[in-house]
Chain A
Amino acid sequence: MTNSNKTKTTGYKLTAADFKQINRRSLFGFQLGWNYERMQGSGYLYTILPQLRKLYGDDTPELKRMMKLHAQFFNTSNFFNTIVTGIDLALEEEEGEKSAETVNGIKTGLMGPFAAIGDAIFGALVPAIFGAIAADMAVKGNPLGVLIWVIACIAIMIFRWSQLKFAYREGTQLVTTMQHRLNALTAAATQLGVFMVGALVATMINVKIAWAPMIGDVKVDLQNNLDMLLPRLLPAVIVLGIYWMLGKKSMTSTKAIFIVLFISIALSALGVISK
């Protein structure tokens, strides 16, 4: 492997300008070609195409083989995709076309775990925390929360920009060394997420029981009785009910939204709940 004649690359080494170009393409173009067949496949090729051409030289059979390889099925979190790219390019730069199988293994091996972490942090937690703050302020008529979310997103963009070079330098070792840190971070972030959901349940669902049955000639204010037990108990019960419903087979979030819509209208028409 140390014999560079056999690697059939041009011997090109990636420069700062290359990283910039990959990052730019990743940030502004990675998922434009998303499709059902290969998902981010063409996006992966697009982000590193100029670098592949430099590494293998234009119109060579090696380039064609690698272009084909990189256009295959790929799907991961678009917040972590350049980590895979960085490790991949470090390998290809070193070993050229011979690394094809390793590269393929790394790509398919890493896309799953990074998709999971990315979805957990950026698909669920960031919207849960910043989306909740923004929405909470927005509902009260204050646009400041929207701005806070934008600022948080810019910080995330900087993080996305920085990881390519880092992954390129660390190479394959990265995955093992980072594993634990990442796990601890994800665990802490999920705790914050769960905490925030609890807070949201207590503030954002504003319905109360309107039904007040007469027992004898005493009117029983059910809502007030509930409040004495624990304020905001009704919203908590509603969320737990929907949580249970979502666990049913063949239940989707869209179905759940419509079921809740219809049940709410029915209960409101019957005078059981009101705003």
Chain B
Amino acid sequence: MTIAWWQILLLTLYAGYQILDELQINSSAGSAVFAGFISGLIMGDLKTGLYIGGMMQLTILGVGTFGGASRIDANSGTVLATAFAVSVGMDPKQAMAAIAVPVAALMIQTDILGRFANTYFAHKIDKDIENFQYKKIERHFLMGAISWSLSRMLPVFLALAFGGGLVSKVVGYLNGDLKWLGDGLSVAGAVLPAVGFAILLRYLPVKKNFAYLILGFVITAILTTIFGNIQTLGTSVMGLDKTLVANFNSLPMLAIALIGLALAYISYKNNTEKEQAPKAPAESAAVNNNSEGEIEDDEL
């Protein structure tokens, strides 16, 4: 199956829109998991899209737009990986490690280009201020949207339109002579979320909140093992006994989040109540801790 022209068009349009969304209204349409959702819909394979988007989301969990530094563009990576995974029939885990990650890293360059282009418009605005040309100030400002969008749309379009042949050749090798590499890419795809978690821990004041890290990990590790074992047990018992009909779901993440929320709420209450009594200049909390060990720059 090849990618139809209308699919290329829609995916390219989304690539242009997602960066604007992330910069502006931030509806989460500019997130990797949403990118997977939408490209899955467009390509007619929601499951693959959601999988790649979900895994990419976890990989870049901590990579926010810190200090305006250019960062890995997981969304364009997800769009391309989903498109090719569906059209060439690639294993989603392999597509994530072999396409989404390298593409996401390469796209940092076009992001930098886009930001440079906007410097030109900023100087135009200086001139407009001198001349009291209010409409032009606004127009030159809004033109920034073009450089932002094109920095994503052009590479995505070119890759979708001309990359298919190359990708199917690579997939042929990964399933044939280079099977070890194909398997390795799948394993890498499974490990990559660890980077996202580690980055996030770098940004959070983890030393001060180490107890919460242990609680979150141990509670979930135990519960996910129990849920997993019950699932395995249930499915095999259902295979033996046809009269047993039940749904064995996996551990819901929302429930875990609520336990965390309760713990955080208790400490918030304690903190604000302590503060009812007038007190000397507030010690600056959490935020300051971020500075230690923070990653200064996300650029390559």
Q: In the complex where A235-B194, A264-B184 touch, is A138 in contact with B287 (Cβ < 8 A)?
A: no
How far is the CB of A201 from the nearest CB of chain B, in Å?
A: 5
Q: In the complex where A32-B142, A134-B54, A242-B194 touch, is A42 in contact with B121 (Cβ < 8 A)?
A: yes
| A174 contacts B by Cβ under 8 Å | no
| A247 contacts B by Cβ under 8 Å | yes
Binary per-residue interface labels of chain B (146-190) against chain A in the complex, 1 for a CB within 8 Å, 0 otherwise: 001000000000000000000000000000000011011111101
User: What is the CA–CA distance of A22 and B3 in the complex, to the nearest angstrom?
Assistant: 42
Contact B201 A42 (CB under 8 A): no
| B72 contacts A by Cβ under 8 Å | yes
Binary per-residue interface labels of chain B (115-128) against chain A in the complex, 1 for a CB within 8 Å, 0 otherwise: 11111011001100
Number of B interface residues, CB 8 Å?
Answer: 130
How far is the CB of B271 from the nearest CB of chain A, in Å?
A: 4
Contact A135 B194 (CB under 8 A): no
Contact A204 B193 (CB under 8 A): yes
Report chain B residues within 8 Å CB of A268. Answer: 180, 183-184, 186-188
Stretch of B7-15, B131-139, B240-248 that contacts chain A? B131-139
Binary per-residue interface labels of chain A (122-152) against chain B in the complex, 1 for a CB within 8 Å, 0 otherwise: 1110011111111111111111011001101
Known contacts A32-B24, A131-B31, A188-B267, then 14 further A-B pairs from the complex at CB < 8 Å, ordered by chain A residue: A27-B24, A33-B118, A35-B121, A41-B122, A120-B203, A120-B204, A187-B271, A191-B260, A194-B209, A199-B217, A200-B193, A205-B193, A205-B197, A232-B221
Q: In residues 16-38 of chain A, which contact B (Cβ within 8 Å)?
A: 27-38
Report chain A residues within 8 Å CB of B93. Answer: 275
A138's contact among B51, B61, B194, B206, by CB below 8 Å, is which?
Answer: B51
Q: Identify whether the interface residues of A are mostly helix, strand, loop, or mixed.
A: helix
Q: Which of B186, B225, B285 gathers most chain A CB within 10 Å?
A: B285
> Can you spell out 24 A-B residue pairs with CB atoms less than 8 angstroms apart?
A29-B24, A33-B121, A34-B68, A42-B141, A119-B203, A130-B28, A131-B31, A132-B257, A135-B57, A153-B27, A183-B282, A195-B213, A196-B216, A198-B213, A199-B256, A202-B217, A202-B220, A207-B190, A230-B218, A232-B217, A242-B198, A255-B300, A265-B187, A268-B188
Q: In residues 73-109 of chain B, which contact A (Cβ within 8 Å)?
A: 93, 97, 101, 105, 108
| B42 contacts A by Cβ under 8 Å | no
Report chain A residues within 8 Å CB of B293. Answer: 247
| A231 contacts B by Cβ under 8 Å | yes
Report chain B residues within 8 Å CB of A82. Answer: none
A231's contact among B206, B225, B300, by CB below 8 Å, is which?
Answer: B225
Contact A156 B26 (CB under 8 A): yes
- B residues near A (Cβ < 8 Å) are 20, 23-29, 31-34, 36-37, 46-47, 50-51, 53-55, 57-68, 71-72, 93, 97, 101, 105, 108, 115-119, 121-122, 125-126, 129-130, 132, 134, 137-138, 140-142, 144-145, 148, 180-181, 183-188, 190-195, 197-206, 209-210, 212-222, 224-225, 250-251, 253-254, 256-257, 259-261, 263-265, 267-268, 271-272, 275, 282-287, 290, 293, 295, 297-300
User: What is the CA–CA distance of A144 and B264 in the complex, to the nearest angstrom?
Assistant: 25
Q: In the complex where A183-B282, A265-B184, A275-B190 touch, is A49 in contact with B134 (Cβ < 8 A)?
A: yes
Residue of B nearest to A188 (CB): B268
A261's contact among B54, B101, B183, B282, by CB below 8 Å, is which?
Answer: B101
Contact A75 B68 (CB under 8 A): yes
- A residues near B (Cβ < 8 Å) are 27-39, 41-43, 45-46, 49, 53, 58-59, 63-64, 67-68, 71, 75, 78-79, 113, 115-117, 119-120, 122-124, 127-143, 145-146, 149-150, 152-154, 156-157, 179-181, 183-207, 227, 230-232, 235-236, 238-240, 242-243, 245-247, 251-258, 260-261, 264-269, 273-275
Report chain B residues within 8 Å CB of A192. Answer: 212, 257, 260-261, 263-264
Residue of B nearest to A257 (CB): B195
User: What is the CA–CA distance of A67 and B126 in the complex, to the nearest angstrom?
Assistant: 9
Contact B58 A194 (CB under 8 A): no
Contact B263 A136 (CB under 8 A): no
B214's contact among A42, A198, A232, A256, by CB below 8 Å, is which?
Answer: A198
